[in-house]
Amino acid sequence: MWKHFARNSKEGTMAKDKPGSQTHVASGAPSIISAGVRLIGELTSPGDVQLDGTVEGDLRCRQLTIGDGGSVKGEITADQATIRGRVEGELRVKSLRLGSKAEVIGDIYQETIAIEAGARISGRIILGLERAAPLHKSDKAGGAASAGAATPAAGPAGGPATVVGSPQRAAPHKLPA
């Protein structure tokens, strides 16, 4: 048997009813993982997620907000994300905003990014959502200057972000004056 559940009043999705499964009707309110809550496993939501607790596993949603005390250890896939907490794992987000207290350990695949002063990144920032080839010392394209390498960024506050390092070090290069 098929059940219909709507994302909003204009569109919907069909889901096959399985024994023991629950059909979720998405509303305008976000799914909230409160401070002190620890979720182990995959979290998938068709809507928005507000995370102030901890997720150990992959997280997929439309829009994600990680608060100051929130953390994720796993891969994140979202259309939009605002991160003020800690992420340890790969990020694939179309539009990403890193707050001043954000800490990301892992590669960031994005289409647009805003980084506030004070945010810490240990990994690569790659334009586009597809996996980039790993950086090796023997890269013919010039190491860090090759496509997909991290580049310095200034956040909306006007100050530079702190880029801590890269899982794979590329050859140093000079920035244009």
* pLDDT tens readout for residues 146-170: 344 444 444 444 444 555 444 443 4
The answer to whether 124 and 131 have CB atoms below 8 angstroms apart is no
pLDDT tens-digit series, residues 29-71? 899 999 999 999 999 999 999 999 999 999 999 999 999 999 9
Q: What is the pLDDT of residue 135?
A: 58
Taking the C-alpha atoms of residue 177 and residue 174, their distance in angstroms, rounded to an integer, is: 9
User: What would the 3-class secondary structure string for 78-134 be?
Assistant: EEEEEECCEEECCEEEEEEEECCCCEEECCEEEEEEEECCCCEEECCEEECCCCCCC
Does the global pTM surpass 0.75? no
Phi, psi of 138 (to 5 degrees): -90, 15
**pLDDT for the residue numbered 161:** 53
Separation of alpha carbons 111 and 54, rounded Å: 26
- The percent of residues in the chain predicted with pLDDT above 70, rounded, is 59
